[in-house]
Every structure is written in structure tokens, then in C-alpha cells.
């Protein structure tokens, strides 16, 4: 190991030590691996002449699509918002670790808060009928025989709101969403897929636990 790589390793270990005190669900070793993944992705981004202080929206969406299997543009934008806590348009290494903690190993309560934030498109702490309509429309496949699919969607929105709007104010608060999901876990991703499939999570966790990306062929590793 060269002097430079030793310094890099020491820097990563220090970062991991600090982050392990702030972030739950990951061991220090797992955090070290996630930092290495982040650094590799960031270096590739910088080599293309882009932002150097964090992963930009385009790079991040590519990861969601190619690694986690998410395809809905509206959902991917929502996931980016959840990771990018300070709203500066990039995901820093700490935001990367914190986001993955919920994304991969979050408790039900953490995942409920995460999904609600993804679905709260305008960040006003409520999910409106209009937001539900737009999210469902992204996932809706128009049938050849349907003249006005929007009408059918509006009916679905009304039924959904009646089911989940426990305080009957025509808006879904987090408490409405939480009660609904606790009663029926399938409602966690009611308005669009924004969490990875459990099988994908299992595969990624295994890859995270590889000690060094450089010891493995690139096409066999996470990202």
C-alpha cells in the first residue's frame, strides 16, 4: 500500500468513526465501504467536469435506476429530495450514509416518514388529491379502449382519500398516512415505488460488506 493510499484509508476510517456516532443501522466497517463507494462515484463525476462536493441529481438518478431498479421520474426526484437534506442540489457523503440507512435498513417508522416526504411533492407537510393524482398518473398505463383515463384515476384518488384521510380534511397529514400504513403495510408505497425491492436490498448489503472495491471485478460490485 502506498503512502497516499494509506492516508486515504486513514481519512475514510476517521470519517466512518465520526459518522458511526451519528447514523444508526450500519457498522463502522459498512460505513467505510459506503464511503468508498461514494468516493468512487464522486471521482467519476468530477472526471466528467461536474460538481466536486457531492453527487448531482443526474448521477444520483442513474444510481436509483441502474442499481435500485426505480424507474418513475417523479419518485426518483422525491428520493433525491429525501437524501439531499440541505437542499443544495447535491448529495454529500453524510447525506449518502444517512439516506442509505433508511433506504436499506430503516425501521417501519423511518420508512413511513421517508415515503411521506417523497409523496409530499411541494413539501408543505400534506399530501393533496392533486399530488396523489399526479403520482398515480405517472404509474398509470392507458388502455387502448379507454377514452378518458383521467376520470378513472380521479375515482381512484377519491377512494384513496376516503380510506386514508382519517381526520376528513381532504388532505393527508403524516398522522393520516401513518395510521393507514400501520393498519395495512401495503399502503407504505401506495402512490409509487420509492423503496428498493427486498431482494435488491439483500444483494446490496452483501456487496457493501466487501472490504475493498478494488479487489473485485467492477461488474460484480455494488454500483
Topology alike, domains 1-106+196-222 and 109-192: yes
DSSP 8-state assignment for residue 10: H
Q: What is the pLDDT of residue 178?
A: 98
- The answer for 91, left when phi > 0, alpha when psi is -120 to 50, beta otherwise, is beta
pTM over 0.95: no
* Domain residue ranges of the chain, discontinuous segments joined by +: 1-106+196-222, 109-192
How far apart, in Å, are the Cα atoms of 66 and each of 70, 88, 129, 223?
A: 8, 24, 31, 8
Mean pLDDT of the chain: 87
The answer to whether domain 109-192 has CATH 1.10.238.10 is yes
What per-residue confidence (pLDDT) applies to 141?
60
Confidence class for position 174, pLDDT limits 50, 70, 90: very high
The single residue listed with the C-alpha cell 466512518 is 16
- pLDDT on residue 219: 37
How far is the C-alpha of 141 from the C-alpha of 75, rounded, in Å? 16
Cell 417508522: give the residue: 109
Is the pLDDT assigned to residue 131 strictly greater than 80?
A: yes
Whether domain 1-106+196-222 has CATH 3.40.50.150: no
What distance lies between CA 54 and its chain's CA centroid? Answer: 16
How many other β-carbons are positioned within 10 Å of the β-carbon of residue 136?
A: 17
Residues 6 or more apart whose Cβ sits within 8 Å of residue 217: none
Over residues 6-58, the pLDDT tens digits come to 888 899 999 999 999 999 999 999 999 999 989 999 998 888 887 678 999 99
pLDDT at 146 over 60: no
Amino acid at each position: 500500500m502506498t503512502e497516499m493510499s494509506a492516508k486515504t484509508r486513514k481519512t475514510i476510517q476517521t470519517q466512518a468513526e465520526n459518522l458511526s456516532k451519528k447514523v444508526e443501522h450500519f457498522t463502522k466497517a459498512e460505513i467505510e465501504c459506503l464511503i468508498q463507494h461514494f468516493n468512487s462515484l464522486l471521482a467519476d463525476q468530477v472526471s466528467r467536469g461536474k460538481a466536486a462536493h457531492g453527487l448531482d441529481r443526474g448521477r444520483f438518478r442513474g444510481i436509483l435506476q441502474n442499481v435500485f431498479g426505480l424507474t418513475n421520474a417523479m419518485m426518483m426526484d422525491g428520493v433525491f429530495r429525501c437524501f439531499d437534506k440541505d437542499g443544495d442540489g447535491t448529495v454529500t457523503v453524510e447525506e449518502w450514509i444517512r439516506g442509505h440507512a433508511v433506504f436499506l435498513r430503516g425501521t417501519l417508522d423511518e420508512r413511513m416518514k421517508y415515503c411521506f416526504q417523497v409523496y409530499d411533492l411541494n413539501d408543505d407537510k400534506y399530501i393533496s388529491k392533486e399530488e396523489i393524482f399526479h403520482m398515480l398518473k405517472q404509474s398509470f398505463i392507458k388502455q387502448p379502449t379507454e377514452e378518458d383515463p383521467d376520470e378513472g384515476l380521479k375515482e381512484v384518488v377519491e377512494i384513496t382519500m376516503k380510506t386514508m384521510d382519517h381526520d376528513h380534511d381532504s388532505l393527508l397529514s403524516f398522522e393520516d398516512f401513518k395510521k393507514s400504513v400501520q393498519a395495512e403495510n401495503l399502503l407504505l408505497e401506495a402512490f409509487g415505488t420509492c423503496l428498493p425491492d427486498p431482494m435488491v436490498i439483500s444483494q446490496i448489503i452483501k456487496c457493501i460488506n466487501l472490504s475493498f472495491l478494488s479487489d473485485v471485478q467492477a461488474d460484480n460490485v455494488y454500483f
